[in-house]
Structure 1
């Protein structure tokens, strides 16, 4: 009780001023723009939202975005868990350099990522593009390029969730399992994975949300062909530039809703893992 009273006395005008500033900043930067998207989406009822799920080009864009996001999430989950184990459970030359490189997608512009993929996999002047094209494998201006670009920009999310948890749980239980005769796979499946399962789930949800909204890198490598290589974020831009603003708002609302659902899922799982 005394501690609570002391805490209240310590709150001065600066504390309330900072709190007001933080709330106002979040309102102007996040809450207000998102609320405008919602209000414009439903300005004429559910017509705009219904059009999103009945227009063939928009349905194709949503389907392609879902395909790219799910593919990138699967790739980055498998890669992220493997690299996390490599970084935490082993020691090798260049380990710090590898850890730094894994943060590169967070610091490099997605446009640069898309351009780099074109330079490597471009069908005309790319390093591997002509060879792959001769084998009938199209990367740039195809679904594969979209998946690669999406995977790159969301690469670190699973890793940055799993690595701290692996360090926290240590290796005592794993060593005990090996001393009792468990092989590497049994140790991972029965000891390591249960210990990091919530971190993996957080990383998967965040990767999925990030992948669904990727715009810059995908715009460079996709070609933005309606019904073929146009993803949902690109369709939002196209609708807005073609003066179909309500359609753009409706599609943006769908993408934002998925992101909000992902945030709610993460918050729920964090609370559940804390309780258990």
Structure 2
């Protein structure tokens, strides 16, 4: 390897580390530093706040519901789009990509326009005493919308790379759809599926914009952890806000880090690699 190539590689590597430190490491260090500014005891006292505990419970509930729903729907959407050719396939692909391009605030506003008190279905819902917006159902709808693409876009490249030979062979041997799906398709996409699930969970846990619009910011009722952080920060409760932010960053970071480890392991073993949305 020539000296020029080695120098270029060193410069590019150094530039990458500098950017990572400035944009990723330093903000996280400052975040944890602010959370622990008055000591660990003051940070842990944040968890004595009933509204903070309620926000954590609500966020975990949203993740527990949205991730399984989007996992099941994402698997079948990816299977349909990779194994079959049909009219309107391109339109469905565009719609799946839509949550990645549209502002989360717009995504939340859509649900308010549909199910809010003055929305299209608002009067009917009010008449039947059904609450969508400013309640858990609205938070779930908004989160489901913004997190739907992650499983689909992570699984699709792996299904594409595997082709149809395994399914076709199983069909010729007399296996039914569910036998093929459970014994051939799912085992082949296991790592990619887990990767998409982790990304979906991280996004669901940290979603702010769409949830902020539909939740109503009711402390102890419809505030998730990101919304509670905003409330605390606006009330000049810096230590509490940064403590919750640090917990959120830690949880999301663990999910994304685990996903990165899975991808690295399968890249090292030569397995087909999917690209997340």
Q: Same fold (TM over 0.5)?
A: yes
Mapped pair 1:74 → 2:68: yes
Q: How does 1:101-180 map to 2 (within 5 A)?
A: 101-122=95-116, 124-180=117-173
SS at match of 1:155: helix
Shift of 1:9: 4.5
Shift of 1:237: 0.7
Q: Corresponding residue for 1:256?
A: 249
Which deviates more, 92-101 or 263-272? 263-272
Q: Corresponding residue for 1:21?
A: 15
Mapped pair 1:11 → 2:21: no
Q: How does 1:156-235 map to 2 (within 5 A)?
A: 156-235=149-228
Shift of 1:254: 0.3
Q: Corresponding residue for 1:41?
A: 35
Shift of 1:211: 0.7
Query: How many residues in Structure 1 have an aligned counterpart in Structure 2?
Result: 269
Distance 1:244 1:43 in 2: 12
Distance 1:151 1:48 in 2: 35
Distance 2:142 2:3 in 1: 50
What is the CA deviation profile of residues 55-103 of structure 1, one whole-angstrom value per residue up to 9, with x for unaligned ones?
1100000111111122111111111111101111111111111101111
Which deviates more, 182-191 or 256-265? 256-265
Match of 1:55 among 30, 35, 49: 49
What is the CA deviation profile of residues 103-137 of structure 1, one whole-angstrom value per residue up to 9, with x for unaligned ones?
11111111111111111111x22122322333332
Shift of 1:23: 2.1
Match of 2:59 among 54, 62, 65: 65
Distance 1:149 1:216 in 2: 9
Shift of 1:7: 5.5
Shift of 1:8: 5.2
Which deviates more, 245-254 or 27-36? 27-36
Query: What's the TM-score, normalizing by structure 2?
Result: 0.92
Please, which runs of 5 or more residues in structure 1 have no aligned partner?
A: 1-5
Please, which runs of 5 or more residues in structure 2 have no aligned partner?
A: 272-277
Q: Corresponding residue for 1:267?
A: 260
Which deviates more, 37-46 or 225-234? 37-46
Match of 2:85 among 71, 83, 91: 91
CA RMSD of aligned residues (A): 1.6
Query: Is the Cα contact below 8 Å between 1:81 and 1:162 reproduced in 2?
Result: yes
Query: Is the Cα contact below 8 Å between 1:121 and 1:139 reproduced in 2?
Result: yes
Q: Corresponding residue for 1:3?
A: none
Distance 2:225 2:219 in 1: 10
Distance 1:206 1:8 in 2: 40
Query: Is the Cα contact below 8 Å between 1:105 and 1:156 reproduced in 2?
Result: yes
